[in-house]
Amino acid sequence: MKLVRFGPSGSEKPGIVAADGSIRDLSSVVDDISGAVLSPAGLDRLRAIDPTTLPAAPAGARLGSCVPMPYNFLAVGLNYADHAAESGMPIPKEPILFNKAPTSISGPDDDVVLLKDSAKSDWEVELAFVIGTEAFNVPAEKALDHIAGYCICNDVSERFWQIESTGQWVKGKSGPTYGPVGPWLVTGDEIADPQALAMTLDLNGNRMQTGSTETMIFGVVELIAYISRFMKLVPGDIITTGTPPGVGMGMKPPVFLKAGDEMVLTVEGLGQQRQKVVAA
């Protein structure tokens, strides 16, 4: 099952993708793709609906993030060994966690608006997962039970503020529009193995990133068990899991985003994002 949110920013409606690819309006059934809707019982309720009985979303409707602004938008750094190498950093012995401000979240095809004075904004195609039921001190064997589904995240990053300057990752990761999420929330039953998904990112038609979640250092199961040792995760929380090599920072010479660029991101089974880059 593929769930979406469509409509103007701040006024999105919940939707479901029908077998023919059309988006159907779920607003007569649920208020949003959040809370108890993301629980196993809530998702089963939506599975029982024939999407063709629901009204179609307006043609060409904007897609928002596939879940609304969460309590927690967490990310994992250097979670691919080859990306750590291109960044000139050692392979971590345990997951590196940081926050992206929830206000960085935007729709999958919304413009990425460069931060004022940004000189080193970069791209990162990532697999993200969304929590469906509260998770705290979760054993690894129960980890997947707490996932509602998966989606794409572009972990846009301002490298000067992240690594140089005072080197605080949250500063370089949290600008408005620096966290496109979606297009779909694909429920866990449709993803047989989250550690076997191909990933790509193109910049202006040129392939920059090609990877697979199979090369993650810490997989989805391990991440849930690890993160839930330190904090309580609640329905709707988003965890984005790291990026394969091919980011602009790692190129020789480095390449960074500029106004007029276009990014296209794919993760196998999770659809596509397309963002234009615009000046502040």
- Give the pLDDT band of residue 167 (cuts 50, 70, 90): confident
Q: What is the pLDDT of residue 260?
A: 98
Beta-sheet strands, E only, within 52-197:
73-77, 96-99, 105-106, 112-113, 121-122, 125-131, 147-154, 157-158, 179-187
Share of residues in the chain with pLDDT > 70 (%): 100
pLDDT greater than 90 at residue 261: yes
> What is the arithmetic mean of pLDDT over 20-26?
97
pLDDT greater than 80 at residue 190: yes
> What is the arithmetic mean of pLDDT over 110-126?
96
Q: What is the pLDDT of residues 75-98, one digit of tens each?
A: 999 899 877 777 777 888 999 999
Integer Cα distance of 264 and 280 in angstroms: 21
Question: Any idea how long the chain is?
Answer: 280
Integer Cα distance of 210 and 4 in angstroms: 26
Q: What is the pLDDT of residue 40?
A: 97
When the pLDDT of each residue in the chain is averaged and rounded to a whole number, the result is: 96
In angstroms, what CA-CA distances link 110 with 7, 12, 63, 257?
Answer: 12, 14, 8, 15
Buried b (16+ CB within 10 A) or exposed e, 143-156: beebbbbbbbbbbb
Q: What is the pLDDT of residue 148?
A: 98
In this structure, of 68-82, 154-168, 224-238, 249-263, the range with the lowest mean pLDDT score is 154-168
Query: One-letter amino acid identity for 145?
Result: D
Structural domains of the chain ordered from first start: 67-278 (3.90.850.10)
Q: What is the pLDDT of residues 138-164, one digit of tens each?
A: 999 999 999 999 999 999 999 999 988
pLDDT greater than 80 at residue 128: yes
> What is the arithmetic mean of pLDDT over 61-88?
92
Give every CB contact of residue 142 below 8 A, 6+ residues apart in sequence. Answer: none
Q: What is the pLDDT of residue 85?
A: 79
Integer Cα distance of 240 and 66 in angstroms: 14
- Shortest CA distance to 181 belongs to which of 69, 33, 22, 45? 69
Coil, helix or strand at residue 31: coil
Using the 8-state DSSP alphabet, how is residue 260 labeled? T
Q: What is the pLDDT of residue 197?
A: 98
Q: What is the pLDDT of residue 168?
A: 85
Q: What is the pLDDT of residue 165?
A: 80
